């Protein structure tokens, strides 16, 4: 079965650079969530989109932005990267009829040096 | 706000049962979940339980929910070395913020 696809799997950036993370949800899923998981920490919710509109916002820094496109894929844009942004970034998706059931991608490991 | 707590570590011998516990504070949680995370990997949905249920069984997994005490547990029968991972409890409130709140995670180590 198709799963949530995230790219890239690994990314190394320098401080103050910009990074773009991509997420391709499970087919027919219309909701996408982004989570950040720091080393040894639990995942923290950043932002979510439903039908290409932002539906909820968590602890997402102002330096980050995200959007969902017409094909339902989503991108998380991170600017002015800081060392503390180094983390595993997860995308999850769900469908309207089972919105309580989120499936996660494998994550993108971002390392800021 | 939501607060989901778990003990950090659990070690069991292969073949024994594992019980991972979770407590939460949000009484309006609608669904409660168990996710498994293997090293460097994504979060795999293991099972979930609706808040009006007390128990759910799925093969080797048994979820028990005590809504009065806001306590959730995951029992893994006949634990195998492949079960070694971090297990996250998470809760989701249908009428609230449409996202999951995760516990701190329990690292399960299975000793051969």
Chain A residues in contact with chain B using a Cβ-Cβ cutoff of 8 Å: 4, 31, 33, 35, 41-45, 48, 50, 55-56, 58, 90, 92, 99-107, 109
Residues of A within 8 A of B88 (CB-CB) are: 42-43
**Coil, strand, or helix at residue A18?**
coil
The continuous run of DSSP H or E covering B52 comes out as none
Burial A59-87 (b: 16+ CB within 10 A, else e): ebeeebebebeeebbbbbebeebeeebbb
What average pLDDT score do residues B25-47 get?
A: 86
Nearest CA to CA, how far is A71 from chain B (Å)? 21
What average pLDDT score do residues A90-109 get?
A: 88
What are the φ/ψ torsions at residue A34 (nearest 5 degrees)? Answer: -120, 135
**Pick from B101, B42, B4: nearest CA to A58:** B101
The CA-CA-CA angle for residues A99, B34, A86, to 5°, reads 85
Mean pLDDT of chain B: 89
Question: Structure tokens of A29?
Answer: 């899923």
Mean pLDDT of chain A: 93
Distance CA A56, CA A43 (A): 16
| 8 Å CB contact of B99 and A58 | yes
Task: Quote the pLDDT of residue A1.
Answer: 63
Q: What percent of chain B has pLDDT over 70?
A: 94
Q: What percent of chain B has pLDDT over 90?
A: 62
- Is the peptide bond between A8 and the residue preceding it cis, with omega within 30 degrees of 0? yes
Task: Quote the pLDDT of residue B96.
Answer: 59
The CA-CA-CA angle for residues B73, B37, B82, to 5°, reads 85
Chain B residues in contact with chain A using a Cβ-Cβ cutoff of 8 Å: 30-31, 35, 40-45, 48, 88, 92, 94, 97-105
User: Is residue B49 within 8 Å of B42, Cβ to Cβ?
Assistant: no
pLDDT at A113 over 60: yes
| 8 Å CB contact of B101 and A45 | yes
Residue A33 pLDDT grade (very low, low, confident, very high; cuts 50, 70, 90): very high
| 8 Å CB contact of B98 and A55 | yes
Residues of A within 8 A of B46 (CB-CB) are: none
The answer to which of A30-34, A74-78, A95-99, B93-97 has the lowest mean pLDDT is B93-97
Closest residue of chain B to A104, computed from CA coordinates: B43
Nearest CA to CA, how far is A80 from chain B (Å)? 25
Residue B2 pLDDT grade (very low, low, confident, very high; cuts 50, 70, 90): low
**Coil, strand, or helix at residue A83?**
helix
Please report where in the chains the tokens 């000793």 appear, as a residue.
B111
Distance CA B96, CA B109 (A): 35
- pLDDT per residue as tens digits for the range B37-91: 988 778 899 999 988 889 999 999 999 999 899 999 999 999 999 999 999 999 8
Task: Quote the pLDDT of residue B51.
Answer: 85
Q: 10 Å Cβ neighbour count for B72? A: 27
């Amino acid at each position: 079965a198709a799963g949530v696809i995230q790219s890239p799997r690994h990314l190394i950036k320098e401080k103050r650079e910009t990074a773009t993370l991509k997420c391709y949800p499970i087919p027919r899923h219309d909701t996408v969530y982004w989570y950040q998981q720091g080393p040894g920490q639990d995942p923290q919710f950043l932002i979510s989109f439903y039908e290409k509109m932002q539906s909820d916002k968590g602890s997402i820094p102002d330096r980050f932005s995200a959007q969902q496109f017409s094909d339902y894929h989503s991108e998380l844009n991170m600017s002015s990267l800081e060392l503390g942004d180094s983390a595993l970034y997860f995308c999850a998706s769900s469908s309207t009829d089972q919105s309580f059931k989120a499936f996660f991608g494998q994550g993108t490991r971002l390392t800021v040096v | 706000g939501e607060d989901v707590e778990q003990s950090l570590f659990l070690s069991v011998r292969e073949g024994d049962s594992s019980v991972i516990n979770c407590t939460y504070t949000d009484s309006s949680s609608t669904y409660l979940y168990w996710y498994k995370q293997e090293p460097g990997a994504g979060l795999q949905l293991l099972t979930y339980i609706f808040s009006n249920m007390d128990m759910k069984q799925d093969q080797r997994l048994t979820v028990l929910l005590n809504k009065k005490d806001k306590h959730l547990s995951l029992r893994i029968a006949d634990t195998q070395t492949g079960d070694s991972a971090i297990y996250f409890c998470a809760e989701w409130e249908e009428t609230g913020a449409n996202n999951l709140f995760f516990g701190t995670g329990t690292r399960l180590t299975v000793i051969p």
